[in-house]
Amino acid sequence: MEQRRAELDAKRQKLNELRKQRAERRKTMTQSVGDEATAQELGISANSSFVSKRQNIDDLVSSLVGERTNSTSSLSIGVNTEDISFSSNQGSASGTGGNTPLNTLSPTFDNSPQLPRPSVKLEIVETVIFDQPPKEKVLYSKEVQTNTSLYDEPEINEEEVQRRLKEEREKEEQLKQAQLEEEEARALELEEEKLNKEEFLEFINSSTKVVERALSQPYDYLVDYTQAEDHNKDDAVEAIKLTQTYFDERLTHNRSVMDIDWSIKYPELFLGAYNKNLAAEHDPDGLVCVWNTHLTDRAEFIFHAPSDVLTAKFSPFHPNYIVGGTYTGQILLWDTRSKRLPVLKSPLNSTGHTHPVYNLSMIGTHNAHNCITASSDGMICAWQLDLLAQPQEVLELLHPSPLRADDLGITALDFPTNETATFWVGTEEGAVYQINRYDRAGIKVGVHPNDIYSGHSGPITSLHFHPQVGALDFSDLFLTTSFDWTVKLWQAKSLTRPSPTPTQIAPLASFEHGSDYILDAQWSPSHPGAFGSVDAGGNFSVWNLNHDLEIPTSTLNLTSRGLNKIKWDKDGSKAAIGASDGKIYVCEVPSLSNPHSEDGAIFQKTVSSLTRNVFNKD
């Protein structure tokens, strides 16, 4: 309605303007008619005065000259007023052209006055003017194109038709192929954009891990549940079974495994610490790979380090934390919930380590715990995991001999079970020393100078205390390995009865079956009298001291390269073994995970017998 009303108002306004214009035109026409009538009246009076004046002139000429001849008069009579006026007008108009002048004629004017022209009667008529555009004329040029040929086209034979059809089919196929290639190229571009998205990559990574874990679950389809168990079978001589090998051609090639540790919360996870790959300049210097026993093709987590990682451990108090020591002396902390770089690291200054850190231990409880690290220059540091800017404690170990003032070169370190104030270290000279973190009654902080565990003729490569297994306590027993091809069993002296004078403490037993450097040995966490050892010849040996003290019960050669580290899992059925070629081997020894109830008592008798032998020798 509003639009219609606006259109009507516009039309009314236009009509008013037309009426105004029409009134102005009427006024202009009225004025022009009045002016024309006035001009006609003036013309009649002028003609009459002109005729009278002309008559007077003619009379005067006649009186002076006399009357004219007949011919002249007849000529003059035959000319009417209109002719005269026309001739005079022509003469005046053509006088400039050189024609006969006007005075050669003697016309006679008609004295009768001319009647005025009748006036035009005008009327006012109201009309409505409509502006309509002219009708558009559409013109077409029509032509017919024909090809004229003087000769008839020759008939096409069947072969030519087949050839043309074949060419057309080939062109159509080529066109379709080009369209398909173009569509595939566009689809590939879209697919690349999708595949390069971080969310998609994370989804693929996590989902494929789940599938691979499910596919790698072992199951014996031919198991016979009716077969009776053979109780007479000797578990001690059961062979070692290699189950899995963990290696990544891109990541761990040209690297050595420097340390291994199993996760306490997730028993299927274990880590491997790796040194630098000298052939890959752009790869990170150090790596920590977390492997899964259900996923052998790739690592579950990969963490980078700015230097060679010489030791690494899962934190027993924070399941997502991994602590590592590096060749430059830095202490690094990684979080499995974060990315590959460490979330915390110690500074490279004199407040902490400035030499390689080969040993690391986590001690304490869930509410109060520390990370104890030792470097090759004899420095011991205690750290809080949430504050690595500076160590809480710093202890510099000097050689206990008064004849030597150099640092104590530490190569191995371990704490007894449930002990946090005292620990033992192995040194480059082949001796083992007791270290006190705090001053006690009669005991000073630092190296205990009177108790010297000497027996190795080469640098000590590992030191491991007996874990708490069963009701019997063997926490004072520890194993050491060395470059002298031997594994030695020791009994730590009681902390409450230190030696008043320097005393050389001898080992309880020495196992000399090795044929190369013994690089690591570790007690079984389930069997009280069993341990495993690895050497530089690639041999993994399992010892059961309840059965034999001279030779291992089982040995398996895993590689021609050296084996650096061994670590048993929580239940003691599997051992992860690190090699110098970057591979980690997982071996199963099922007999060690299910010890007999009398194994503890048998081992206690064995230890007592060894202690008596040592006492008798002294």
Residue 610 exposure: Cα atoms within 13 Å on the Cβ side: 22
Lowest mean per-residue pLDDT among 182-191, 394-403, 484-493: 182-191
Percent of the chain with pLDDT over 90: 38
What 3-state DSSP class applies to 431?
Answer: strand
240: amino acid identity, one letter: I
Percent of the chain with pLDDT over 70: 79
Q: According to the model, what pLDDT value does residue 237 have?
A: 46
What 3-state DSSP class applies to 307?
Answer: coil
How far apart, in whole angstroms, are the C-alpha atoms of residue 480 and residue 464? 7
- Supply the mean pLDDT for the chain: 81
Phi and psi angles of residue 35, each rounded to the nearest 5 degrees, phi first: -65, -35
CA angle (434, 440, 444) in 5-degree steps:
55
How far apart, in whole angstroms, are the C-alpha atoms of residue 607 and residue 74? 188
How far apart, in whole angstroms, are the C-alpha atoms of residue 387 and residue 393? 12
Q: What's the first-to-final CA gap in the chain, in angstroms?
A: 125
Task: Characterize 475-488 residue by residue with b for buried, 16 or more Cβ atoms within 10 angstroms of its Cβ, and e for exposed.
Answer: bbbbbbbbbbbbbb
Per-residue pLDDT, averaged over 280-290, amounts to 91
Q: What is the DSSP string of 19-66?
A: HHHHHHHHHHHHHHHHHHHHHHHHHHHHHHHHHHHHHHHHHHHHHHH-
Between 153 and 79, whose confidence is greater? 153
Q: Is the pLDDT of residue 162 over 70?
A: yes
Interhelix angle for 198-215 vs 158-195, to 10°? 90
Lowest mean per-residue pLDDT among 138-152, 157-171, 426-440, 523-537: 138-152
Per-residue pLDDT, averaged over 326-348, amounts to 93
pLDDT in tens, 226-260: 655 554 444 444 578 999 999 999 899 999 999 99
Phi and psi angles of residue 617, each rounded to the nearest 5 degrees, phi first: -65, -40
Residue 129: which pLDDT band, with cuts at 50, 70 and 90?
confident
How far apart, in whole angstroms, are the C-alpha atoms of residue 478 and residue 459? 17
pLDDT in tens, 545-587: 999 898 999 999 999 889 999 999 988 889 999 999 999 999 9
Look-up of token digits 């066109």: 175
- Strand arrangement, sheet containing 269-274: 257-262, 269-274, 286-292, 301-305
Between 505 and 54, whose confidence is greater? 505
Q: According to the model, what pLDDT value does residue 231 have?
A: 47
Between 83 and 44, whose confidence is greater? 44
Q: According to the model, what pLDDT value does residue 93 have?
A: 38
Give 567's strand partners. 576
Q: Is the pLDDT of residue 440 over 90?
A: no
Residue 543's closest CA among 522, 564, 515, 574? Answer: 522
- How buried is 110 (Cβ within 10 angstroms: 0-12 exposed, 13-18 middle, 19+ buried)? middle
Give 557's strand partners. 539
Between 5 and 120, whose confidence is greater? 5
Q: According to the model, what pLDDT value does residue 324 have?
A: 95
How far apart, in whole angstroms, are the C-alpha atoms of residue 515 and residue 498? 36
What 3-state DSSP class applies to 272?
Answer: strand
Q: Is the pLDDT of residue 219 over 80?
A: no
Q: Is the pLDDT of residue 508 over 50?
A: yes
Close Cβ partners of 541 (under 8 Å, ≥ 6 residues apart): 513, 514, 532, 533, 534, 535, 552, 554, 555
- How buried is 44 (Cβ within 10 angstroms: 0-12 exposed, 13-18 middle, 19+ buried)? middle
Lowest mean per-residue pLDDT among 126-140, 437-451, 486-500: 126-140
Q: What is the pTM of this model?
A: 0.64
- How buried is 139 (Cβ within 10 angstroms: 0-12 exposed, 13-18 middle, 19+ buried)? exposed
Q: According to the model, what pLDDT value does residue 223 have?
A: 59
Q: Is the pLDDT of residue 198 over 90?
A: no
Q: What is the DSSP string of 493-506?
A: PPTTS--SS-EEEP
Q: Is the pLDDT of residue 113 over 60?
A: no
Residue 552's closest CA among 518, 525, 601, 602? Answer: 518
Domain architecture of the chain: domains with CATH: 15-98 (no CATH), 243-350 (2.130.10.10), 397-618 (2.130.10.10)
How far apart, in whole angstroms, are the C-alpha atoms of residue 515 and residue 169? 78
Q: Are strands 574-579 and 563-568 parallel, antiparallel or unpaired?
A: antiparallel
Residue 355's closest CA among 332, 342, 373? Answer: 373
Lowest mean per-residue pLDDT among 144-148, 407-411, 568-572: 144-148
Close Cβ partners of 590 (under 8 Å, ≥ 6 residues apart): 238, 573
Taking the CB of residue 575, how many other CB atoms lie within 10 A of it? 24
Tokens representing 285?
Answer: 């210097």
How far apart, in whole angstroms, are the C-alpha atoms of residue 100 and residue 122? 46
Q: Are strands 503-505 and 446-454 parallel, antiparallel or unpaired?
A: parallel
Q: Is the pLDDT of residue 448 over 60?
A: yes
How far apart, in whole angstroms, are the C-alpha atoms of residue 586 and residue 219? 17
